[in-house]
């Protein structure tokens, strides 16, 4: 049985009429950039997300660094995050001009460990970037308490966690802004690149809107800025898909629980941990191989059996060749859990369109490998 890693085309075919109709509206309107469909999607997105403002930008990386810039974070400032995330989290801070301080992740959630943050705070620290890794929110109340104590900003990287929430909090409630990616492989993905900033801060909204559009709030008048816009065709696709995101997330969670049950007796792997009460949206179902030296062997075994297992991310940011590339970065404290995560992670296919039979097949192959390696 073949099990691809993504179900993009299946998903499109399931709601083809809705997406096609929205795209036709853009094409027939002749307004492709900064048009009414983008404005309508921004309205829909902010209502869905529950923030005052939603600003469409070119991609998730830009969403983070434009937000940092809008918040005044740049040269001479430090931001704290963890290194077992996609490269773009740190890259965005570097583009903004800041120094990146890496601390360890929590061994269970793989999100930033709040107990490691205070040791990394200096008089240059300006912001914390918690990443809601794999689809699970970081411990925002603990992070917020530290940020309040030290007067720091919080920019949530929720590229992997649209529709996720904590037990007592929603994304955006305990931070200055939330930055998402709409690249095709995300839980809510467009047909290419896209991103968005969600915020309750009017000044951030106003500033990002200007920055994304060549520093222009008014035709022919410019200040420093960039070109980073979500175009109307992508907004059209996202608008149709947003109507289905809750139902798709619910299916992801169901399928993840099916993996949990089928893999419960495995001795050689650790399963994803879901903080009680949190809505973990399983952007990735990432397991860890207890003997990290055997990680590649499991991945190869699955690939050889027609299962497109991958890993996210086998090289942590501070382990990348040539790090830190002349950019300023520093690791504070032991970073052991992040390194274990990078060395041992394997992502099993999971998306709303994957069938129960495919899940059972993948799980059976993982269990076969487990028995042979226990």
Ligand X SMILES: Cc1ncc(COP(=O)(O)O)c(C=O)c1O
Per-residue x/- mask for ligand X, residues 89 to 108, rule CB under 6 A?
A: x-------------------
Which residue in 67, 84, 160, 187 binds ligand X (CB under 6 A)?
160
Per-residue x/- mask for ligand X, residues 318 to 357, rule CB under 6 A?
A: ----------------------------------------
Q: Return the percent helix, strand and coil in the chain, to nearest 5.
A: 40, 15, 40
What are the angstrom distances between the C-alpha of 182 and each of 281, 295, 301?
Answer: 15, 29, 31
**Nearer residue to ligand X within complex by CB, 339 or 366:** 339
Structure tokens at 294: 């055997």
Name the minimum Å distance from CB 347 to ligand X: 12
What are the angstrom distances between the C-alpha of 314 and each of 19, 157, 295, 298, 327?
Answer: 35, 20, 10, 14, 21
Which residue in 157, 176, 339, 353 binds ligand X (CB under 6 A)?
157
Q: Are 140 and 130 in contact (CB under 8 A)?
A: yes
Q: How many helices, marked H, and strands, marked E, lie in the chain? A: 12, 11
**Nearer residue to ligand X within complex by CB, 171 or 358:** 171
| Measured distance CA(333)–CA(352) in Å, rounded | 39
59 lies in the site for ligand X, by CB under 6 A: yes
**Nearer residue to ligand X within complex by CB, 133 or 210:** 133
Q: Are 367 and 262 in contact (CB under 8 A)?
A: yes
Name the minimum Å distance from CB 88 to ligand X: 4
What are the angstrom distances between the C-alpha of 1 and each of 122, 296, 351?
Answer: 54, 21, 17
358 lies in the site for ligand X, by CB under 6 A: no
Q: Which stretch binds ligand X (CB under 6 A): 81-89, 251-259, 285-293, 362-370?
A: 81-89
Nearest residue to the partner ligand X, using Cβ: 60
Q: Where along the sequence are the contacts to ligand X (CB under 6 A)?
A: 59-61, 85-86, 88-89, 131, 157, 159-160, 181, 183, 193, 195
């Amino acid at each position: 049985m073949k099990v691809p890693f993504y179900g993009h085309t299946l998903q499109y075919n399931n709601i083809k009429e809705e997406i096609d109709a929205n795209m036709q509206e853009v094409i027939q309107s002749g307004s492709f950039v900064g048009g009414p469909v983008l404005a309508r999607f921004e309205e829909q997105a902010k209502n869905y997300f529950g923030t005052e403002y939603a600003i469409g930008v070119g991609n998730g990386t830009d969403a983070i660094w434009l937000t940092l810039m809008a918040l005044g974070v740049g040269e001479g400032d430090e931001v704290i995050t963890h290194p077992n995330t996609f490269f773009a989290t740190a890259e965005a801070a570097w583009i903004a001009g800041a120094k990146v301080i890496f601390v360890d992740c929590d061994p269970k959630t793989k999100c930033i460990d709040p107990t490691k943050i205070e040791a990394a705070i200096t008089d240059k620290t300006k912001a914390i970037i918690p990443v809601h890794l794999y689809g699970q929110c970081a411990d925002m109340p603990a992070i917020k308490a530290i940020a309040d104590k030290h007067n720091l900003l919080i920019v949530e990287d929720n590229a992997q966690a649209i529709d996720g929430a904590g037990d007592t909090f929603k994304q955006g409630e305990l931070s200055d802004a939330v930055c998402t990616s709409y690249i095709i492989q995300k839980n809510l993905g467009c047909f290419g690149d896209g991103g968005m900033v969600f915020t309750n801060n009017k000044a951030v909204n106003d500033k990002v809107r200007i920055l994304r559009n060549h520093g222009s709030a008014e035709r022919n008048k410019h200040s420093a800025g960039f070109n980073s816009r979500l175009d109307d065709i992508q907004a059209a696709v996202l608008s149709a898909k947003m109507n289905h995101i809750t139902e798709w997330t619910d299916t992801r969670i169901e399928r993840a629980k099916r993996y949990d049950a089928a893999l419960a007796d495995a001795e050689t792997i650790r399963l994803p941990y879901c903080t009680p009460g949190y809505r973990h949206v399983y952007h990735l179902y990432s397991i860890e191989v207890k003997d990290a030296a055997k990680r590649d062997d499991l991945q190869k075994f699955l690939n050889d059996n027609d299962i497109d297992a991958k890993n996210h991310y086998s090289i942590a940011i501070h382990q990348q060749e040539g790090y830190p590339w002349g950019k300023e970065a520093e690791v504070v404290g032991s970073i052991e859990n992040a390194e274990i995560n990078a060395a041992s992670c394997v992502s099993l296919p999971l998306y709303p369109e994957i069938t129960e039979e495919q899940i059972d097949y993948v799980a059976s192959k993982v269990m076969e490998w487990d028995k042979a390696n226990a």
